[in-house]
Amino acid sequence: MDRRFFFITRVPDEPGSLERAAAIITAGNGNINRVHYDRRIDPRTVFFEVTAGEGMVEEIRRGLEARGYLRESLPAPGFLRFAVHLPHRPGALHEFLGHTTAARANIAFADFDDSGDGPERLVMAMTLEDRAVAGRLLDRLKSRYRVEVLESVAGEDGLDDTVFYLRFAEELRSLLGGGEEAFLLRLLHDVNHIVQELEHRGEDPETVFSSILATGRTLRGTCGAGFYADVQGIPLAENLRLTCLQLPCGGNVYLLASPGHLLMVDTGYGIYHADLVQAFSRLGIGEPGNLSSILITHADADHCGGAGLFPAGTRLTRASLECIRTRNRATGSRSEGLILETVYTTLINLFSRFTPPSEIELLGEPGESRTGGFPVLARFSLGGHPFEILRGFDGHMAGQVYLACRELRVLFTGDSLINLEGLTPERRAFNSLAVNLITSVNVDRDLARREREGLIALAAAWDAEGRGDGRRCLLCGGHGPVSVLDGESPVTFGAVERYLP
């Protein structure tokens, strides 16, 4: 039975290399389903996806390996820029280059002029696929020539594009805290696939790579010592208090506290768990052990990625659970087959230390009852006040729900209605990274528009009901501050304070 396999090849930068690699695959009865090579990114790396029989895959692998084409590891690339003093005699440069060629160094720069100030001084810059090899080459050269090191082996700023994918993989390894070679090779193959797809849509590959790395760097830089949160504390009733924490990146965390009960709505990224626990204590909200339950609005990592780290049961829809299980935020939508959604989910889960819920209570399926056009999935009481869990239309993501209390006029809108103007520039910049990689955060734009319109209509209706007592409908979006409607746009409600650890 034929199966799909991928190969990452490292071919010489010369005419005929790609043809020779394809010939090896053809000789092994492999059918090439995908190939991607872009000289602007890396002039020697070619990605293949191949359908072949199990036995023939090994034959193809052996053929590529015998030719020296098969990439089976991702060594840390090395860079050297140095000045070497060569004897001024025939053959000196040729002899010197023999050492660099033996080390498989790719020369990026060479500068020598015997009429200059230093007639024996040759300045060179070169990249090597393995940092350890770069170090050994430098030691070998030092034993034979007078060498002035101008940039160390560990330097990365001078790396040229001949080892781009190695450099990219090395930073991925660092951001992920390590990783087996086979896992990193698979991840690199998947990243290349979304680069190819976005290139077809007119996107610049540089934007894709930089957005991926910026996502990982920003998450790492905003936990621990870099953590902060923007906080709103709002009394909803005498016995019920709402706390909103806008985390540095991604979704909000909400806590509804009443005597003997503490409900969390969404958990933020897993990478922020320890910071959140500390913030709860310092803000006087309570300890994780006091949590009664967690409600997940939808299955994006920034809304449920810390659920498994809290000692409380988690309520979510079956559709949300399926998105978590398949590791694809587009599962159950018309975007389900898009490679962009699958790979983005993989990347953001890895960067954010996604920890799915373990103690799960599935919400029921929609019945006949509706509020504001949204099906009611469940009803419960908190502090003596009636709440409803409403089912969305699967526009932002399959399985998304909203939490509503008409009596208190409070509406948790997930990512279907947020106060974009209330986001800080840093949060807007981070959110734009996802758009760069998946083109839209909504899996179905038409349904997402219907969800937003429905939520605005519901909030406006509750505002109209509250004119007598002056109570406005509070909109608790998945991102940004707690807000109220101004026309059809959310505007920030009350004071927002900055929490620092």
CATH of the domain at 46: 3.30.70.260
pLDDT value for 155? 44
C-alpha span between 31 and 25 (Å, rounded):
8
Specify whether 244 is located in the same domain as 97.
no
In a domain, 158, yes or no: no
**Largest Cα–Cα distance in the chain?**
98
User: For residues 105-122, b (16+ Cβ closer than 10 Å) or e, as one string?
Assistant: bbebeeebeeeeeeeebb
- The residue ranges of DSSP E strands in 259-298, in sequence order, are 261-265, 293-295
Short-list 334, 297, 315, 287, CA closest to 417: 297
Q: Which of 206, 221, 236 is the last residue of a domain?
A: 221
Specify whether 251 is located in the same domain as 361.
yes
Mark residue 149 as left, alpha or beta (left: phi above 0; alpha: psi -120 to 50; beta: remaining).
beta
Short-list 399, 244, 386, CA closest to 315: 399
Burial class (CB in 10 A: 0-12, 13-18, 19+), 298: buried
In a domain, 480, yes or no: yes
In a domain, 452, yes or no: yes
Check if the beta carbon of residue 149 is closer than 8 Å to that of residue 82: yes
pLDDT value for 162? 60
In a domain, 159, yes or no: no
Q: What is the DSSP letter of 290?
A: G
Specify whether 207 is located in the same domain as 174.
yes
Q: The domain containing residue 215 runs over which residues?
A: 166-221
CATH of the domain at 252: 3.60.15.10
In a domain, 73, yes or no: no
Specify whether 178 is located in the same domain as 147.
no
Full-model pTM? 0.88
Element (H or E) spanning 457, and its range? helix 445-465
Specify whether 286 is located in the same domain as 422.
yes
Question: Tokens standing for 238?
Answer: 């005498």
The model's pLDDT over 21-64, given as tens digits with 9 standing for 90+, comes to 999 999 999 999 999 999 889 988 999 999 999 889 999 999 99
Check if the beta carbon of residue 495 is closer than 8 Å to that of residue 232: yes
Q: Which of 151, 177, 194 is the last residue of a domain?
A: 151
In a domain, 161, yes or no: no
Short-list 178, 206, 186, 184, CA closest to 41: 206
Number of domains, the chain: 4
Specify whether 338 is located in the same domain as 373.
yes
Specify whether 242 is located in the same domain as 253.
yes
Q: Which of 127, 151, 175 is the last residue of a domain?
A: 151
Check if the beta carbon of residue 501 is closer than 8 Å to that of residue 431: no
Q: Which residues of the chain have pLDDT under 50?
A: 154-160
Specify whether 134 is located in the same domain as 261.
no
pLDDT value for 463? 94
Specify whether 266 is located in the same domain as 365.
yes
Q: Which amino acid is at 412?
A: F
pLDDT value for 278? 96
Specify whether 181 is located in the same domain as 305.
no
In a domain, 250, yes or no: yes
In a domain, 287, yes or no: yes
pLDDT value for 153? 53
Q: Which residues contact 72 (CB under 8 A, 6 or more apart)?
A: 65, 181, 185
Check if the beta carbon of residue 127 is closer than 8 Å to that of residue 78: yes
C-alpha span between 254 and 233 (Å, rounded):
10
Specify whether 228 is located in the same domain as 138.
no
Specify whether 376 is located in the same domain as 453.
yes
